[in-house]
Amino acid sequence: MPRSSPKPSPLASGQVLVTGGAGFIGSALIWALNQRGVEDILVADLLGTDDKFLNLVPLRFADYIEGDHLLASLSGRDPRLRGVRWVFHLGACSSTTERDVRYLMQNNYEYTKALAAWSLKNKARFVYASSAATYGEGAQGMDDQNPNLHRLRPLNPYGYSKHLFDLHAQHEGYLPKIVGLKYFNVFGPNEAHKGDMRSVVHKAFGQIRDTGRVQLFKSYHPDYKDGGQKRDFLYVKDAVAMTLHLATASKAGGLYNLGSGEAHTWLELVAPIFAALGKAPKIEFIDMPETLRAKYQYFTQANVAKLRASGYTAPVTPLTQAVADYVGHYLAPGRRLGDEPAAAFPAPSYRPSRKL
């Protein structure tokens, strides 16, 4: 008997809009959509003079619109938006050191408000990037199932701009109808343009390749040794698989932590980089800038019970394997997502839910 053809993705029903589509997670999401046979994608971003556009070169999509033009189009009848049924709003200023609060309010908060309202009015599924930065230092817990959002105390303007929309969505009654994603420490291909906001994996790779050693911040907390600070590191291929699952899960709504669910130390993170480059570990601990010490997070770990309860069953890529894939198939040869060899890890599979 002939083999049956794969069931088409629910995301193939209607056009997909991805804001921040040339960015790190946005371009990875388009890559994952392409792997699922989805190419009717409208990409929005703000392209400037850096090399971020190169993330789009290997990807397949229908059209591109500048982010400021998209915002203006929401109040009109732009034909490019007529068929949009899925909105992944990943575009934002993601710099945790940005001090221009007015800019963050316009770019992160007001933009998200406008796009969410448009999506709900036009019956498009709205999935947006909130942030684990909304949890602040984590003293109030990192629980995505606690409805008391006012308990949270973000530490920086970026985190507050994200938190403010979460509060707005809750106040307006949007949250049960939309999905907000609290990404933890995501790393992986297509992040080179992020400058100082690149992951430690990307920064460490360059240091180890060029000097044979890596510099890590000393610990200023008695409970953590140098290099023993812990983060929940999530490979971007896992992050976008989780994102697509929640988009198509008919009962998913509200805020979701997206992480591995397991904290690892900085030492555990950099060890496989040395291994992938065939070098013996050499680590130098340096002073942390005074401006960071009071706001530094020594431990983050996502509680992903709510994600799992939504039906996401795919295993998370183990940290050592994720780092090896990133270094060996992307960083060392200078590749981006869409240019990888067949040996690279594909996007983790997920079981699409029924059409919304």
Q: How far is CA 171 from CA 36, 168, 175, 233, 276, in A?
A: 35, 5, 9, 31, 48
As a whole number of Å, the CA-based R_g of the chain is 20
Q: What letter represents residue 200's amino acid?
A: V
Q: How far is CA 53 from CA 22, 91, 208, 257, 293, in A?
A: 6, 14, 27, 29, 35
Q: Is 52 annotated as catalytic?
A: no
Are the C-beta atoms of 246 and 256 separated by less than 8 Å? yes
3-class SS at 44? strand
Catalytic one among 109, 128, 158, 330? 158
Please name the residue that has the structure tokens 């920064």. Answer: 203
Q: Is 194 annotated as catalytic?
A: yes
Are the C-beta atoms of 96 and 251 separated by less than 8 Å? no
In eight-state DSSP terms, residue 353 is -
Catalytic one among 64, 113, 177, 194? 194
Complete edge-to-edge strand list for the sheet that includes strand 125-129: 63-66, 41-45, 15-19, 84-89, 125-129, 179-183, 254-258
3-class SS at 181? strand
CA-CA distance, 190 to 59, in Å (whole number)? 12
Are the C-beta atoms of 39 and 181 separated by less than 8 Å? no
Would you name the residues annotated as active-site residues?
158, 194
